[in-house]
C-alpha cells in the first residue's frame, strides 16, 4: 500500500489505462466476428459432388500416347516402335529396353519426348 501512495501521481492514469485496455480487448472480438464484417468467420461450404462419369477412361492410353507397341530399336536420333520410326527431341527420355511394350509421347514438332513402359492390354 505504501508504494501506491508513494507513486500516486501515476497510479490514477495507470488505472485508467488498464480499464481502457480491458474494454478494448473485450470489445474487439465482438466487432471482428460480426456478420457484416469482412473478417467474419464464414460457414464452410462442402465441395460440389464429383461425378466420375465426367472422365472418359475408355481408350485413355490411345489418347495419351502417339504410338504404342513393342520397342524395336533405339539409337541417338530416333526410336522404332512397330513399323513407325520417330525422331527424338533433344531432351527426350527413353528409359525402356528393346522388346518392351511402350507408349510414345510426342511434342508439337512430331518428335518423341518420352518413351514409357506400358502393360499389355488383356483384350
pLDDT at 5: 62
pTM here?
A: 0.49
The per-residue pLDDT for 93 is 80
Q: What is the pLDDT of residue 58?
A: 63
Quote the cell numbers at residue 1. Answer: 500500500
pLDDT digits (tens, 9 = 90+) for 96-122: 889 999 988 888 888 989 888 888 765
- Is the distance from CB of 113 to CB of 79 less than 8 angstroms? no
Distance between CA atoms of residues 75 and 78, nearest Å: 6
In sequence order, the 6+-apart residues with CB closer than 8 A to the CB of 81 are 67, 68, 69, 70, 71, 72, 102, 104
pLDDT tens-digit readout, 56-103? 666 666 677 888 889 999 888 899 988 888 899 988 888 888 999 998
Give the whole-angstrom CA distance, residue 104 versus residue 89.
12
Amino acid at each position: 500500500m505504501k508504494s501506491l501512495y508513494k507513486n500516486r501521481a501515476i497510479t490514477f492514469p495507470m488505472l485508467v489505462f488498464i480499464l481502457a485496455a480491458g474494454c478494448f480487448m473485450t470489445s474487439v472480438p465482438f466487432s471482428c466476428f460480426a456478420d457484416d464484417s469482412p473478417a467474419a468467420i464464414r460457414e464452410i461450404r462442402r465441395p460440389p459432388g464429383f461425378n466420375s462419369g465426367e472422365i472418359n477412361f475408355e481408350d485413355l492410353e490411345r489418347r495419351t500416347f502417339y504410338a504404342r507397341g513393342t520397342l524395336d530399336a533405339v539409337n541417338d536420333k530416333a526410336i522404332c516402335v512397330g513399323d513407325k520410326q520417330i525422331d527424338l527431341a533433344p531432351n527426350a527420355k527413353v528409359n525402356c529396353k528393346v522388346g518392351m511394350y511402350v507408349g510414345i509421347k510426342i511434342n508439337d514438332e512430331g518428335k518423341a519426348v518420352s518413351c514409357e513402359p506400358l502393360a499389355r492390354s488383356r483384350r
